[in-house]
Chain A
Amino acid sequence: MNAPLFPSILISCPCSDNVGQQRSRRSKTAAADPDLDQWEEEGETFDPRSPRSAFSLFPLENLLFCEDCNQVRCPRCVQDEIACYFCPSCLFEVPSSTVKSEGNRCTRNCFSCPICFAALAVTATGEDQTGPFILLCAHCLWSTSDIGITFEKPTSITAQLTAKLKAASLPPSNSLAPPESSHSRPLSPLSQGSSVYNFRPNSPIPPPAPTDEAEFARLKGYYHQQNTIASSDDFGGAGSLSRLMGMYSTGRRIGSYGTGNMPKLVKQKQEWQEIESYRVMDSEDEVIEKMKKAGFYGATSQSQRIIQSHQPRLLEDVRPLAALLRTKRAKRCRSCRHILVKPEQKVGSIRYRIRLVAGLDHNAVNYFSLQPLATHQFLLTVTNPLYDVINITLATPEKTPGKYPATVYILCPEFEVGASTDVWDEALGPEAKPKAKAAKGRKTGLAGTIWDSGRNWTSVILEIVPPHLPDDVELEEDDFIVKVPILVRSVYESDVDKDDGIGKDIKEKKEHSYWSVLEVGRIGKKVAGKVGFDDSASAGTGVAVNKALPPTPSGEPREREHRDREHRSSSRSHRESAGAAR
């Protein structure tokens, strides 16, 4: 986890611009303010500091690419389709027919810890691996014996657990008169008189409070019964409830066939009744007493509480969590329905049949470190994964958005990147060799020229002057980070699909542009001759300002950068973003 925060390159997916909400917003403002609309259409500089950017910026690894739409597809603009269900713990493939009835959870022996959410293991507590058995968390040492549950056999834990929990919910004092009887009584239509549960403290022996689950079952049964009664008069049906819920279908129905024919039925219609025994609020003194005893550490944390369906307040009430099933999902492009990812159906396999990863179409970047009001030069390397030569145009605002803008200048915003041919071509190919040599000879650092280039990559210089941050103003962490939005436009010619037989040698011009955000680094304090860094930025070697090119390698980050490049140029995989190379 000690991965450096910078550099990072993030690609903006334009999908948040074309969903329904945008349409609504646009059309809403279109009437009121046509200027605003136009302004939105033209699209100004992408603002990496906007709170919404957290939802439209993605690292390279998380993006897919739809070849049909020629567009990046982020996790939110794809449609998921479930291929299969399986338990992540025992890898059992669950047939889709039983998934829902089993509550999307594994019904074998897979449980996770209610405290730390790690997997629980069935452990024998007796001699020689004999029972009783418990579920034990190897991470936090919580076990089911903490809540007083042990199992007789090491198999079918789920069934045993259900039985034990059911038994535990029946209070021992009332075992003679199980609470079910008091539940079922009001369900009988014959029962008269209102019986109200009185859980107030003044009643000597409070009847056990039915659990919410039991109460739900009781209400459900009751409502269904009401429904049956109401529909048995041949008229109401759910109508009486529906009517009460604000639907006037009953009246219409009378109009459609009821008039004249069956006028009496109107009278017979039964009202939907209130349940006769509802739960009066109980005193919570007992709960408070328990809380007092448990203290801070005996209570469940929010995350522990909300993950359990019965929302326990205290740690003594938690239950082991049955493992949630997982799915393998195919992903389709939302606009053209083209399949972007299709995993192998088999659970054990991690292979994909189809996978169109956007990484194949994008680039990687490296960085140096920052001091206020000094010119920093960065090498921006664009790698080409395609088998065609691409022309890149980079555009960036002169001042980055934000309260304290940094000045940005790209020395050579337009350049060409060679095709991704075989690695050996560079070394052996008669044509490739002189070209590579010529490229390596540059390194002048003059405006309008590239810094360096190789077989399928080109480096250009990016100059950044970070702002001086005032000392007297309280700054947010965000203000320290230099974020450079860059509009990348790539144009290339590729062979037209030869399937149709017509365009054999016809080349098609393809153009693709997107916003990306380069988080270059954190601005340090301006201390004479030294640069202060946040420890977490891991670039804390303090690079002296060096306007001469190339900057003298004086620290670990520089070396990494070199390694990076070697690695990249020798590898066929071009997904080595700065992040992946770590």
Chain B
Amino acid sequence: MDPKTPTTYRGLPPSLRTPSFGLPTSPHRYTPSSSLHNHEEPLIFEIGSRILRAGFTNEPAPRCTLAWSETLWRRVGDRFTSASEEAEAKKWGRKGGRAVWDTGFALRGGEDDIDGEREGRVRQMMGLVEDLVERGIRVAYNKHLIIDSKQRRILLPVPPLFPTRLLTTLLATIFTHFQAPSITLLSSPVLAVVASGLRSGLVIDIGFHETIVTPVYELRAVEGRGLGVHGRSRRSISVLREAWIKFLLPYLPDVTSLDFDEVEEIMERLGHISSASEHSYDPDISIPVAGRTIKVPFSRLAEPAEKTFFAATTTQSDTPEYGDDDDTPLPRLLYNALIRCPVDVRATAVSRIMFVGGGARIPGLQARVLRELEGIVEERGWQLGGRRRVRRGSVATRKGSVVAERKGSVVSVKKELEVREAAPGREEEEGEEKLEEVLEDVKEGSEGSEEAEDSGEAEDMPVEETAREMVRSVSARSEATHEGDDSASRSGKKEGEVRGVRTLGVWAGGSLVAGLKVRGKVEIEKDKFLSQVANGGTGLPAGW
């Protein structure tokens, strides 16, 4: 919004103001420009690759939840007989269950783009996204919200590291076809945290294409620190669907392929993760699939989801113990993300883990993930992360060799401490003093070597923290050793209990935030955006 817009209140001494009477007026007397639109509360559109949610501010649930179903992909006015309907679905070599977009679009087809072929494909995909999203939003406006699209601002939750091009396409579609005056972008994990009543947490979004873990601290998503890579996994609903197909096919001899919609229906209705307790009662469930009925014991129906989200690897591999970087099982993924957080964030987030996205609906999944995470933490503690981080740091900061060297020395000090710890009875004071010395050196070193940019935000900052953490944990451990209590030395418990928190979801978070008249970090206005896009820009503010 335009900060230059004059306001009635600016410049008035605060003492002249009436003490807060109306809470609706108080929030936006400070955000003057927004008062233009504030009498009209924004609409919240959560656009996912499989589902569109739309509704009004201050309402607990979206007015409409639309799946991007085959009917939306269909040509207007096409009349289908049942046989040809199937033919139409076959058209793409896939049957039903399509997602609007594929976030991996930029990666497919190799590195080099011969003859702009990939560019062409991406453009076609963007065109399709525009077509479909336009259709979906039009249904939402005309059928469910029943309002004139021109007046309302829109609040759009955006997942972390959402492809810019896709975002531009979405915004352009909304602006051109629906003439919304402005769109506010808010980070979807933050909204999920707001919808649980908290300010910090660890949000795990099990989506259709990927699972994303985002730590949120004081209503800010923690970014960088390798979370973009290590906080993501391909274990998602699409993988789950494949697992279900693999699971169902052996029951159906002479069937080679299954209808995606049918499989998704089974997956939604019966998929679960069994809890550890023994089930005495295990009935056979009749499942209609591919024109016949099969009977499967209920407990077996947990297999696909278990394989998808907890198996060491989902791809064929000779070394399943070393999975691909993008193929991390969920508990491990949470651990990976947590260990990359600063210690304060980690301590807060670990006891506020919340699940959103389609995968969160699988009953039993959340409990199992948390249980396994607890196991990992118990087994490995957080020290490993500390140690590893320093080692990683020294590798990563090869350029800033000074830093690396100093960091190396931190490691050596730590080793020394450990050695000493192994032989209890010796003085520890000395060791800590020494560490402090080294720490200061490191600090200076890292300040001096600005050119260690790569590792920059992720690696430089935590050095001190890491070392301190080490001191803390080492001393904690040695204290424990003194007391002779070994179990307490597993510092996982010290950092905070692994615990899940229920959230109302991203959409409800958006509804709450919009109800508080909070204006987002990024507010995009129609005319400005469109003119920027016309000039070849992304239309998004820098740093988005």
Contacts and interface: CB of A to CB of B under 8 A. Distances in A.
Interface in B337-357: 355
Contacts of A324: 143-144
Given A213-B60, A301-B268, 19 more contacts: A25-B127, A33-B116, A52-B124, A55-B132, A79-B150, A212-B60, A216-B60, A217-B60, A224-B516, A242-B518, A245-B186, A245-B190, A295-B283, A296-B287, A306-B51, A327-B142, A329-B142, A476-B91, A536-B84
Interface in B55-96: 56, 58, 60-63, 65-67, 69, 73-84, 87-88, 90-93
A55 B285 contact: no
Contact of A278 (B20, B29, B87, B501): B501
Nearest to A534: B83
Contacts of B83: 534-536
A54 B75 contact: yes
B363 A272 contact: no
Nearest to B28: A238
A455 B31 CA distance: 68
Contact of A80 (B51, B142, B499, B534): B142
Contacts of A29: 119
Contacts of A85: 146
Contacts of B14: 234-235, 257-258, 261-262, 265
B23 A228 contact: yes
A320 to B, nearest CB: 17
Contact of A281 (B169, B175, B370, B504): B370
A544 interface: no
Interface residues of A, number: 117
Nearest to B66: A306
A59 B78 CA distance: 8
B502 A281 contact: yes
A58 interface: yes
15 contacts: A21-B176, A24-B172, A51-B92, A52-B128, A55-B131, A59-B76, A238-B30, A238-B31, A245-B520, A257-B11, A274-B197, A281-B367, A292-B281, A295-B270, A305-B268
A483 to B, nearest CB: 12
B397 interface: no
B4 interface: no
B323 interface: no
Contact of A231 (B20, B88, B499): B20
A311 B77 CA distance: 30
Nearest to B221: A246
A81 interface: yes
Contact of B519 (A54, A222, A242): A242
Contact of B518 (A1, A100, A245): A245
Interface string A241-279: 110111101000100111001100100000010110011
Contact of A27 (B69, B82, B283, B535): B535
A27 B60 contact: no
Given A20-B175, A306-B65, A535-B83, A245 B513 contact: yes
Contact of A3 (B81, B145, B146): B81
Nearest to B351: A280
B330 to A, nearest CB: 14
A259 to B, nearest CB: 12
Interface string B315-344: 000000000000000000000000000000
Contacts of A262: 14-15
A279 B501 contact: yes
B153 interface: no
A2 interface: yes
Interface in B145-176: 145-150, 168-169, 172-173, 175-176
B288 to A, nearest CB: 7
Interface stretch (A149-157, A171-179, A282-290, A430-438): A282-290
A227 B508 contact: no
Nearest to B534: A23
Interface string A1-45: 111010000100000100111011101111101001000000000
Contacts of A36: 116
Contacts of A282: 502
Nearest to A305: B268
